[in-house]
Structure 1
Amino acid sequence: MIYIYLFITFFQIGLFGFGGGYGMLSLIQTEVVHRWHWLSTSEFTDIVAISQMTPGPIGINSATYCGYTAIHNAGMSNTMAILGSATATFALVLPSLILMIIISKMFMKYMNTPAVQSIFTGLRPAVAGLLGAATLLLMTPENFSTPSESPWQFWISCALFAATFIGTMFLKINPIKMIGYCAAAGLLLLY
């Protein structure tokens, strides 16, 4: 019976948890600590710390660990706790999966209509502007230095920026490889 409550609880959190994983944490805490008493406050705090340290989204990681701990605290075996972990994780992801399938089907059906084409035509410059704004926000003295403070660091940073742009845009070098190349160059030239 606890699996059904676990599924319903995390499905609701996945459905109404806007604002990403950090926005879900208060919902998860309210449900698993205060409402169902599956975890203590200290256990939940430990789970949040572990979720931040492990790779992946914090909301999904928290659901995974909460599902495991809830079943384990109910006195069931580790195998059953793993099933609880899978149940909570699946339930949290399911609303987003359903919404994305519906949106994808609608998009595939209407993607060639003039209204949808107009929407995407209008979105392209907005996305380019947002990427440009993010780039400008990162071009700070802390990241690039200034010519008056440290000319060497400034010009090396500008050269790495230009090389990355040219490498990914025109030479079609894999962006992950470019990150590695620039990290190595930064280590050699700026250390």
Structure 2
Amino acid sequence: MTKKDSNRESLTERQFMQLFLQHEPVLRLVARSMLVDWMAVDDVLQEAGVTMWEKIGQLESADGFLPWARVIVRLKCHSAINAARRRRLVLSEEAVKLLAVEIDTVDRERYETNLNALQGCLQKLSPQQRDLVLAPYRDGIEVQDIATSVGKSANALYKQLGRLREKLSECVKLTLGVDVSSGGISQ
């Protein structure tokens, strides 16, 4: 039996899935930092997951999963970017590299804390407000189309979205203990 075969046997499908799901938010953040399309992020994560499972024998220990998985996600992102480049304009390679370096400095706990604060604040909005503020981030929906569906002009919708986003921003800052008036952390 080769070393790769023994590694494959030592990390079960269950253990692999636990590691993947544990680190999925960070891997999604890596992909999101490099790709502009939410659907492309989902596609890349799916492809990366399949590749990780196929190459699990390369993983020396469960402790090395996240750095190893980040490399695979980045490579899949670069493939997606190159495919997109053939279809339309995308970020330059230099910009993508800068974003990839920047994302490595993101503190996972801070990211999760911020995400939890945002989710909590979104829940404080009415269902209609929440749907409206999330609508522009759904698959390819244009603000003009949303405005038409709610019976408003695009300009009026932009203003309403701006107010809702400001409300969310203030809620998140208060939740995180950021002094809204000075922009600093309150004591």
Same fold (TM over 0.5): no
- Per the normalisation by structure 1, the TM-score is 0.30
- Per the normalisation by structure 2, the TM-score is 0.31
> Considering only CA atoms, is the larger Rg found in Structure 1 or Structure 2?
1
